[in-house]
Amino acid sequence: MAETVIAGTPELPPGPDPERQAAAQRYGRLQRRAYLLELLTGAGAALAWWLAGGGRAVAEATPGPTPAVAVVAALALGGAYALATVPFDWYRGHLLPRRFKLSVQPLRGWLAQRAKAAAVAGPLGLGVVAFTYWALGAFPNYWWLMVAALLFGASVLLTVLSPVLLMPLFFRMTPLPEGAVRRRLLDLAERLGMPAGGVYVIHLGARTTATNAAVMGLGRTRRIVLGDTLLDRYTMEEIEAVMAHELGHHLRGDIPRSVAFQGALALASLGLLHPAWRGVAKPLGLEGLDDPAGLPVLALLSGGLGLLLSPLEKGYNRWVEAAADRFALRCTGEPRAFISMLARLHDQNLSEARPPRWAELLFWDHPPYYRRVAEGQRQLAAPGPA
Interacting residues with Zn ion (CB under 5 A) = 321, 324
Cα dihedral 297→298→300→303 (10° resolution): 180
Residues with Cβ within 8 Å of 323's Cβ and at least 6 positions away in sequence, in order, are 248, 252
Quick one: 324 or 345, whose CB is closer to Zn ion?
Answer: 324
Query: What DSSP character marks residue 375?
Result: H
Quick one: 130 or 242, whose CB is closer to Zn ion?
Answer: 242
Alpha helix segments (H runs only) across 62-200: 66-90, 96-99, 107-138, 143-161, 167-170, 180-191
Q: Considering the complex, what minimum distance in angstroms separates the CB of residue 365 from Zn ion?
A: 9
- Report d(CA 88, CA 41) in Å as an integer: 9
Q: Considering the complex, what minimum distance in angstroms separates the CB of residue 274 from Zn ion?
A: 34
Q: Considering the complex, what minimum distance in angstroms separates the CB of residue 249 from Zn ion?
A: 5
Quick one: 290 or 321, whose CB is closer to Zn ion?
Answer: 321
Q: Considering the complex, what minimum distance in angstroms separates the CB of residue 242 from Zn ion?
A: 9
Q: Are 176 and 239 in contact (CB under 8 A)?
A: no
Q: Are 380 and 335 in contact (CB under 8 A)?
A: yes
| Of 238, 242, 170, the residue nearest 206 (C-alpha) | 170
**Pairing relationship of beta strands 199-203 and 172-175 according to DSSP bridges:** antiparallel
Q: Considering the complex, what minimum distance in angstroms separates the CB of residue 153 from Zn ion?
A: 25
Q: Considering the complex, what minimum distance in angstroms separates the CB of residue 254 from Zn ion?
A: 8
Q: Considering the complex, what minimum distance in angstroms separates the CB of residue 213 from Zn ion?
A: 8
Quick one: 38 or 325, whose CB is closer to Zn ion?
Answer: 325
* 3 state DSSP class of 272: helix
Quick one: 321 or 375, whose CB is closer to Zn ion?
Answer: 321
Count Cβ atoms below 10 Å from residue 12 Cβ, excluding itself.
15
Residues present in the chain in total:
386
Quick one: 321 or 347, whose CB is closer to Zn ion?
Answer: 321
Q: Considering the complex, what minimum distance in angstroms separates the CB of residue 77 from Zn ion?
A: 35
- Report d(CA 274, CA 266) in Å as an integer: 12
Count Cβ atoms below 10 Å from residue 263 Cβ, excluding itself.
17
Quick one: 321 or 352, whose CB is closer to Zn ion?
Answer: 321
Cα dihedral 312→313→318→320 (10° resolution): 120
Quick one: 74 or 324, whose CB is closer to Zn ion?
Answer: 324
Quick one: 225 or 281, whose CB is closer to Zn ion?
Answer: 225
**Helices and strands counted in the chain (H then E):** 15, 4
Residues with Cβ within 8 Å of 45's Cβ and at least 6 positions away in sequence, in order, are 80, 81, 83, 84, 85
- Report d(CA 129, CA 77) in Å as an integer: 12
Q: Considering the complex, what minimum distance in angstroms separates the CB of residue 185 from Zn ion?
A: 16
Q: Are 175 and 144 in contact (CB under 8 A)?
A: no
